[in-house]
Amino acid sequence: MKEQKEQKNQEQKTITLKTLNKSCVWDIQENDIFRMYEVAERDADLKENYRHYMDIVRSAFEIEEVKVDKPEVLKKYEDRGFKIGTIKLDENTRLKLALKKRPIMRVTDLTYENIRHISAAKLLEVLDRNFGGGWDSLSQSIQDIIESGFEISTTTLPQDRLHKSGGMYEKKVDDGFDVLEIPKGTWVEAIFAKKKPMVEKPKMKYEEEMSEDEEELDDEAIEERDDEYDDDDDDDFDEDKLTEESYRTTFETDPDDLSLDAAEVSDDDEY
C-alpha cells in the first residue's frame, strides 16, 4: 500500500501543464496547479495556450479570478474552501486565481474522467447519499460510467439471511469488495463495489509499424506515395492485351436448344 502511494505521488510530481489531461487532473490538488504554472513560466507559448490549459483545469476545479486583491475579499474565498495563488503568463501579465477542487457529491458528478480517481468507499458514499431505490434506480448512463471503473454486483435478500456464513456477502468482502446495504422493508439490497485494475490496451504490431512510418512522412510525401500506388494500378491495365477471350460470356448455350422456327423480325417489325 505504501509503495502504491509513493508511486502515485511520483506520478503527480511528473505531471506538467503540457501532459495534463481531463483524467489525470483529478489526481492533483490546487497547489499543484500553481506549482505547474510556476514551472512553466519560462515557456514562450504559456500565454498562448493559457485558455486550453484552463479548460482542462476547469473540468476538475472551480476557478475564479480575484479582481479585488484585499484581505477581506481573500478571506471570503478561503472561507469557501478556495486556494489562492498568482500565475505569471509573461513579464506584463499576472493573474490572481482562486481554485477549489470540484466535489463529487452526487451520482451526476460522476464522469468517465473521474470515476477511476475515487475509491470504492467514496463511490458507495455517493450512491448512499443520492438514492434509496437501489442499483436499478440509476440511469443506464450512470451505471455505464460506474462500471467502467468498478466491478459491481448486487443481491437482495431477507435481512436475516444477508450475512449468512459462507454466503455471497462474506465471499465478496473476503474478495476485497466494499458493500453498501440499502434497507427495503424486511429485505436488504447489498451493492458490492471493487475498483477495476488499470489495463492498458496493447497496440497491434501492425498499427505500431504503420504509425511509425506515417510519422516519418509529411503530407506531401504521403500524397506522392499514394500517387505512385495509383500509377502502378493504371500500369496493370493494357488495352492491347484484350483478346477475344476477354469478351467471352459467362454462360454457354446448347445449339440444339435454339428454335429454328423462331419468327424473323424485320426492321419494320421492331417499330
How high is the pLDDT of residue 15?
Answer: 86
Q: 131 or 203: which carries more pLDDT confidence? A: 131
List, for residues 157-192, the tens digit of each pLDDT value.
999 999 999 999 999 999 999 999 999 889 999 999
Asked whether the whole model's pTM tops 0.85, one would answer no
- pLDDT band for position 92 (cuts 50, 70, 90): confident
The pLDDT value recorded for residue 244 is: 45
- Name which residue leads in pLDDT, 31 or 131: 31
For residue 264, pLDDT over 70 is answered with no
127-141, 188-202, 218-232: least confident range: 218-232
Question: Residue 266 above 60 pLDDT?
Answer: no
pLDDT in tens, 97-125: 999 999 999 999 999 999 999 999 999 99
pLDDT of residue 46: 85
Query: What is the rounded average pLDDT for all residues in the chain?
Result: 78
Q: How far apart are CA 68 and CA 30, in angstroms?
A: 20
* Cell numbers placing 86: 498568482
pLDDT at residue 248 above 60?
no
Give pLDDT, residue 83: 97
pLDDT tens, 21-69? 999 999 999 999 999 999 888 787 888 899 999 999 999 999 999 999 9
In the predicted structure, residue 212 carries a pLDDT above the cut 50: no
User: Which comes out higher in pLDDT, residue 251 or 63?
Assistant: 63
